[in-house]
Amino acid sequence: MQLELSAEDAAFRQEMRTFFTTQVPQEIRDAVAERRELTKDQVVASQRVLNAAGLAVPHWPEEWGGRGWSALRRHIWHEEMQRACVPTPLAFNASMVGPVIAAFGSQEQKERFLPRTANLDIWWSQGFSEPDAGSDLASLRTTAVREGDEFVVNGQKTWTTLGQYGDWIFNLVRTDPEAKKQAGISFLLIDMTTPGVTVRPIELIDGGHEVNEVWFEDVRVPAENLVGELNKGWDYAKFLLGNERVGVAPVGSTKRVLAQAKDYARSVSVAGGLTLLDDPLTVARIAELENELLALELTALRVVAHSADGKPHPASSVLKLKGTELQQAVSELVVDLAGPASLASGAGDADSDLAGWARHATPVYLNLRKASIYGGSNEIQRQIIAKTILGL
């Protein structure tokens, strides 16, 4: 056992810290720090800075821009990025479709898509969930029927995050309606400008537009856009979801928000000339969250240090479960610190004397209710722990 990072890993950490805090545009990092919604241009600009330095897709195969880092270094890269308020590379590109194409795509698909995916020249959307297929993803019904050199796609996807910006969408589609649930599914790439693709916004409780419905009506997709083998899509989806869980405990960003919360608490006066940071219940709440985050961070380190052969450690469900709970709890704390100022969510910077963090607190809190639902709901994670770890 050894507590310290090796000298090499410590130097790596410092190198990441320096890069992220000096090379990514300050106004983008400020927007993250103030928890403002990022524009598409900001997300693209940030990822391109990272990609130019070889830091956008370090976990990909080296041939396509990967760096061959240890799991620990990938963890450090990810944490330092969040700590420095740098937007993490678009997950749909970097963690989802990119690794699937790199692992299962044809050589032609790799050459055509991977460089542009890494550089965010293509903005990918995810077409997995459907109205009747959420956590029970294999129930999906969108069909793709082969006609000559094309698939004809019909159906509806939902919860398509940031689909309004999407250039292409990667989909799970049913290609064999006779086969058992998981067996007849394929993984298909669709250009979103193809006739018959319609994106409709879904309005959410935070007042923002983040997710969409995507409709496919007789959409004709070249057969060359099928990834891997026909009817093997479920295997690729499992591979992708395994990747998704690895980075799913946002320890670095939650820690950063909790650290900011102390400053917020200091800025709020309460009776007797004191601030909220003098309030015993507030400090106890912060201290408890800090300790749980420490436990989560150390657990993440245990998991990355022991993840063999790139397979997710069984305890990674703990990270998803607890990581999202703490992310939500910290967002709830910030709303409580804001108090009445939290009501001013509709006020722009020019119209309000109230602090930006306080005005953004409730939309963020409401938005983060999603965290325990997506990526395999927390109930699914409990099911995984009970079944695969406890044998129940």
Partner 1 sequence: MDFTYDEEQQALREAVRGLVGKSYSDFENRRRTVAEDPGYDELLWSRLAEMGVLGLPFDEAYGGMGAGPVEVGIVAQEIGRVLAPEPFLTSVVLAGGVVALAGTEEQKSSLLEAVGSGETVLAFAHAEPGTRWVSTAQDVTASGDGDGWTLTGVKEPVPFGARADQLVVSARLGDGGTALFLVAGDAPGLTRSGYPTFDGGRAARVTLDGTPATPLGSATDASAQIARALDAARIAACNEAIGAMQYALSATSEYLSSRKQFGVPLKTFQALTFRAADMYVSLELATSVATWATMVLASGTDAEVAEAAARAGLQVSRASRHVGQEAIQLHGGIAMTAEYSVGSYTSHLTALDHLFGDGQLHLSTLAAGIGDHDEVDPLA
* Residue nearer to partner 1 on the CB measure, 182 or 260: 260
H-run or E-run covering 219? strand 211-222
Contact between 273 and partner 1 per CB under 8 A: no
From the list 203, 244, 292, 379, the catalytic residue is 244
SS3 at position 274 = strand
Sole window of 119-127, 167-175, 276-284, 352-360 interacting with partner 1 (rule: CB under 8 A): 276-284
* Residue nearer to partner 1 on the CB measure, 83 or 360: 83
Q: Report the C-alpha gap between 359 and 362 in whole angstroms.
A: 7
Contact between 248 and partner 1 per CB under 8 A: no
Sole window of 127-135, 189-197, 279-287, 365-373 interacting with partner 1 (rule: CB under 8 A): 279-287
Q: Is 4 a catalytic residue?
A: no
SS3 at position 312 = coil
Task: Among 204, 315, 355, 366, indicate the residue that binds partner 1 (CB under 8 A).
Answer: 315
Contact between 136 and partner 1 per CB under 8 A: no
Q: How far is CA 297 from CA 20, 180, 291, 292, in A?
A: 20, 40, 10, 9
Q: Among residues 242, 376, 389, which one has the least CA distance to residue 309?
A: 242
Contact between 270 and partner 1 per CB under 8 A: no
Contact between 386 and partner 1 per CB under 8 A: yes
Q: Among residues 259, 250, 332, which one has the least CA distance to residue 82?
A: 250
Q: Among residues 359, 339, 363, which one has the least CA distance to residue 276?
A: 339
SS3 at position 155 = strand
* Residue nearer to partner 1 on the CB measure, 143 or 383: 383
Contact between 63 and partner 1 per CB under 8 A: no
* Residue nearer to partner 1 on the CB measure, 179 or 294: 294
Quote the least distance from Cβ 13 to partner 1, whole Å: 8
Q: Report the C-alpha gap between 383 and 392 in whole angstroms.
A: 9
Structure-token pair, residue 105: 């795509």
Quote the least distance from Cβ 78 to partner 1, whole Å: 14
Confirm if 88 and 108 have CB atoms less than 8 A apart: no
Q: Which residues are catalytic?
A: 244
